[in-house]
């Protein structure tokens, strides 16, 4: 059966919520985020975007680009409340709503009967209701599957609606730049361009096997997307097990000190990301972890239990970083990540992982290395194991779905 998927995404969400109560800001460049120190732009309104200001840009750079920029602090509780109201509007049209973040969701309206089942009219009505009841605009994309609906919602932003009917999919896809495809970031896009592949039409000249040879499993995905195939269902709730942020550096960080310098910004990014999913630590996270990829690509993760309510700060991650660094202070680092695990992995009875040996050793206990416990001796560890109250592993321990947010630096 041909599906009808709508992707909704609010326009400059945090800024839109702020402009609602202060309409005089609508015409002025406005950014949301911490104005001082290492603050980054969480988002900015469209007048600010005309200056080249973007999400995740350091606030200092944003100010340079636009000295008259107005900066307001984030107000997560309000954004979360507007988000809940927005989700409630979506639910009036289908029980199949998959929120992706505070301001974004997929809806499957295949079986919706309102508006004679017209997904276009439903999307139009959702946009109207959100504007009327919540005072912000959203853009929507309507298509037969998720990846096309998501591209479509971005097509006419802001305050736009873009519909890709089944009979329009071919015409839409052929000239579509590969960089627009789900999962194609800067690195994959550059690789594709090197092969002379710029559009989906170019991609279609390649067999699935040839793409898999060059891109592994991702090659198959590229092949399918270029032919408009995306069977992913709209999933109503997916228990999230962890959340992390990580950064790959174009020049390796020279050693432990440099990693420490990066912790505050990463911790701040993690807070923002958690906030976007309405995770404020009021239910304590189960564990914290730090991940390092050294210059030789060996990747190590160190995690420890975390029983406190609230958001962990840089000081809470620092001991884990120190532990991973252990002996070789000057090892170069390609990637630094940190995150929280939200639930205990389910284990067979009797094998419950005892994170703190029932004695709840404080995290800073980790500052002292324990005899015979070599953080670098990772060669045989493919899954996590228990050392002195913390879990150490190579890459992410099996069974966790680490939803990280990687960024190139």
Nearer to ligand DCP, 157 or 365 (CB): 157
C-beta of 162 vs 402, nearer to Mg ion: 162
Does position 271 interact with ligand DCP (CB under 6 A)? The reply is no
Among 5, 6, 8, 10, binds ligand DCP (CB under 6 A): 10
Interface of this chain with ligand DCP, residues 45 to 84, rule: CB under 6 A: 55-56
Q: What are 244's strand-pairing partners? A: 339, 404
Peptide bond into 58 cis (omega under 30): no
Rounded Cα distance between 122 and 130, Å, is 12
Query: How far is residue 348 from each of residues 344, 345, 381, 387, measured CA to CA in Å?
Result: 12, 10, 20, 19
Count interface residues toward Mg ion (CB under 5 A). Answer: 4
- Walk across the sheet containing 70-72 and list its strands: 43-44, 30-32, 70-72
Q: How far is the CB of 32 from Mg ion (least distance, A)?
A: 12
d(CA 328, CA 324): 9
Determine which residue in the list 104, 230, 246, 322 makes contact with ligand DCP, applying CB under 6 A.
Answer: 104
- For the chain, state the CA radius of gyration: 23
Per-residue x/- mask for ligand DCP, residues 349 to 368, rule CB under 6 A?
A: --------------------
Helix axes 119-134, 76-91, angle to 10 degrees: 140
Nearest-5° angle of CA 337, CA 218, CA 270? 20
18 is an interface residue for ligand DCP by CB under 6 A: no
Secondary structure letter of residue 291 according to DSSP: E
**Which listed residue (94, 242, 244, 272) binds ligand DCP by CB under 6 A?**
272
x-or-dash pattern for Mg ion, window 11-50, by CB under 5 A? Answer: --x-------------------------------------
Strand partners, 254: none
Which one of ligand DCP, Mg ion, none is in contact with 178 (Cβ closer than 5 to 8 A by kind)?
none
Question: Cβ 408 to Mg ion, closest distance in Å?
Answer: 22
Binding ligand DCP (rule: CB under 6 A), the pick from 18, 103, 230, 268 is 103
**Helix, strand, or coil (residue 266):** helix
H helices of 280-356, in order, are 314-325
CB of 381 to Mg ion, least distance (A): 40
Using CB under 6 A as the criterion, what x/- string covers residues 152-171 for binding ligand DCP? -----xx-------------
Instruction: Return d(Cα 290, Cα 348) in angstroms, integer.
Output: 26
Q: Does the annotation mark 303 as catalytic?
A: no
98 binds, among ligand DCP, Mg ion, none (CB under 5 to 8 A by kind): none
- Per-residue binding string, Mg ion, 48-87, x by CB under 5 A, is ----------------------------------------
Closest distance of CB 279 from ligand DCP, Å:
13
| β-strand pairing of 242-253 with 402-408 | parallel
Backbone φ, ψ for residue 111 (5° rounding): -100, 5
Position 340 contacts Mg ion (CB under 5 A): no
The site string for Mg ion over 88-127 (x = CB under 5 A, - otherwise) reads ---------------x------------------------
8 Å CB contact between 283 and 308 = no
Stretch that binds ligand DCP, among 4-12, 113-121, 317-325, 380-388 (CB under 6 A): 4-12
Pairing label, strands 242-253, 390-394: unpaired
Site for ligand DCP in 206-265 (CB under 6 A): none
Q: How far is the CB of 12 from Mg ion (least distance, A)?
A: 7
Give yes or no for a contact between 236 and 97, defined as CB atoms under 8 angstroms apart: yes
- Within its chain, how far is the Cα of 268 from the centroid? 14
Tokens of residue 255, six digits: 């050693």
The whole-angstrom separation of Cα 333 and Cα 336 is: 7
Q: In the numeric block, which tokens belong to residue 141?
A: 């994309």
Is residue 9 near ligand DCP by the rule CB under 6 A?
A: yes
Q: Which residue has the tokens 């969480």?
A: 42
Given the residues 18, 24, 27, 104, select the one marked as catalytic. 104
Name the segment binding Mg ion (CB under 5 A); options: 5-13, 193-201, 311-319, 352-360.
5-13
Q: Annotated catalytic sites, by residue? A: 104
Contact residues for Mg ion, defined by CB under 5 A:
9-10, 13, 103
- Residue ranges in contact with ligand DCP by CB under 6 A: 9-14, 42-43, 55-56, 101, 103-104, 157-158, 272, 276
């Amino acid at each position: 059966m041909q599906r009808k998927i709508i992707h909704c995404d609010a326009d400059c969400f945090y800024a839109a919520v702020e402009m609602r109560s202060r309409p005089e800001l609508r015409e002025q460049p406005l950014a949301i985020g911490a104005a001082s120190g290492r603050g980054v732009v969480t988002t900015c309104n469209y007048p600010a975007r005309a200056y080249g200001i973007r999400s995740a840009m350091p606030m200092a750079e944003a100010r340079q680009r636009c000295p008259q920029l107005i900066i307001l602090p984030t107000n997560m509780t309000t954004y979360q409340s507007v988000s809940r109201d927005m989700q409630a509007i979506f639910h009036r049209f289908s029980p199949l709503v998959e929120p992706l973040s505070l301001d974004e969701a997929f809806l499957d309206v295949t079986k919706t009967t309102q508006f004679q089942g017209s997904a276009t009219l439903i999307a139009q009505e959702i946009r109207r209701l959100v504007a009327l009841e919540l005072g912000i605009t959203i853009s929507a994309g309507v298509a037969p599957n998720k990846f096309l609906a998501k591209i479509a919602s971005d097509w006419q932003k802001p305050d736009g609606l873009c519909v890709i009917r089944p009979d329009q999919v071919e015409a839409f896809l052929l000239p579509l730049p590969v960089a627009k495809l789900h999962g194609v970031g800067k690195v994959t896009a550059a690789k594709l361009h090197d092969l002379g592949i710029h559009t989906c039409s170019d991609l279609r000249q390649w067999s699935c096997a040839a793409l898999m040879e060059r891109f592994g499993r991702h090659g198959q995905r590229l092949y399918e997307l270029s032919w408009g195939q995306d069977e992913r269902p709209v999933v109503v709730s997916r228990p999230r097990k962890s959340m992390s942020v990580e950064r790959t550096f174009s020049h390796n960080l020279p050693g432990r000190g440099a990693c420490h310098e990066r912790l505050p910004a990463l911790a701040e990014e993690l807070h923002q990301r958690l906030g976007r999913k309405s995770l404020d630590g009021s239910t304590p996270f189960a564990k914290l972890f730090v991940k390092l990829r050294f210059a030789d690509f060996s990747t190590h993760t160190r995690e420890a239990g975390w029983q406190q309510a609230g958001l962990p700060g840089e000081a809470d991650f620092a001991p884990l970083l120190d532990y991973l660094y252990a002996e070789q202070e000057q090892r170069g680092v390609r990637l630094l990540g940190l995150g929280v695990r939200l639930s205990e992995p389910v284990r067979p009875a009797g094998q419950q992982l005892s994170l703190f040996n029932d004695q709840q050793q404080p995290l800073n206990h980790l500052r002292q290395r324990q005899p015979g416990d070599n953080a670098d001796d990772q060669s045989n560890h493919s899954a996590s194991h228990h050392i002195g109250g913390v879990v150490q592993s190579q890459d992410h321990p099996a069974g966790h779905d680490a939803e990280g947010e990687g960024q190139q630096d």
